[in-house]
Amino acid sequence: VQLQASGGGLAQTGGSLRLSCVFFGGTFSRRVMGWFRQAPGKERESVAAISWGGSEKWYEDSVKGRFTVSRDNAKDTVYLQMNSLKPEDTAVYYCAARGLGSPVVYSNSRFYEYWGQGTLVTVSS
């Protein structure tokens, strides 16, 4: 199993970016997917998570109303649409996958089995 994240880059405050994460090497549709981020000098934190079919979503409080997680099971891809970006959103963003057949949408990273390489998001003030 491999996850490949992309879409990071430089954005201005108030701007938008869309992250993508493609899942390779297994069954994607029956995996809960999560997005996490780690800012310089800080611990990794959970950002969003989405259930198998996309009907259940979880968001960290600071991104609610600004970020949207979605998935396309036909393309084995999960997305994170980030709007109204703030400088404090600057971080390396990681996508992660839970184990196959585990349906609970957890925010805690310890429940995620596979991780992508990360994509850097920088928001300028």
Q: How far out from the chain centre does Cα 7 lie?
A: 11
- Reduced to 3 states (helix: H, G, I; strand: E, B; else coil), residue 37 is strand
pLDDT digits (tens, 9 = 90+) for 30-64: 999 999 999 999 999 999 999 999 999 999 999 99
- Report the sign of the C-alpha dihedral through residues 86, 82, 77, 20, in that order: negative
pLDDT digits (tens, 9 = 90+) for 9-34: 999 999 999 999 999 998 999 999 99
Report the amino acid identity of residue 18: R
Give the distance between the most distant pair of CA atoms in the chain.
42
Separation CA 78–CA 64 (nearest Å): 18
Residue-level pLDDT at 109: 96
Query: What pLDDT is attached to residue 58?
Result: 98
Rounded to the nearest 5°, which phi and psi values hold at 47? -115, -50
Tens digit of pLDDT for each residue in 59-101?
Answer: 999 999 999 999 999 999 999 999 999 999 999 999 999 999 9
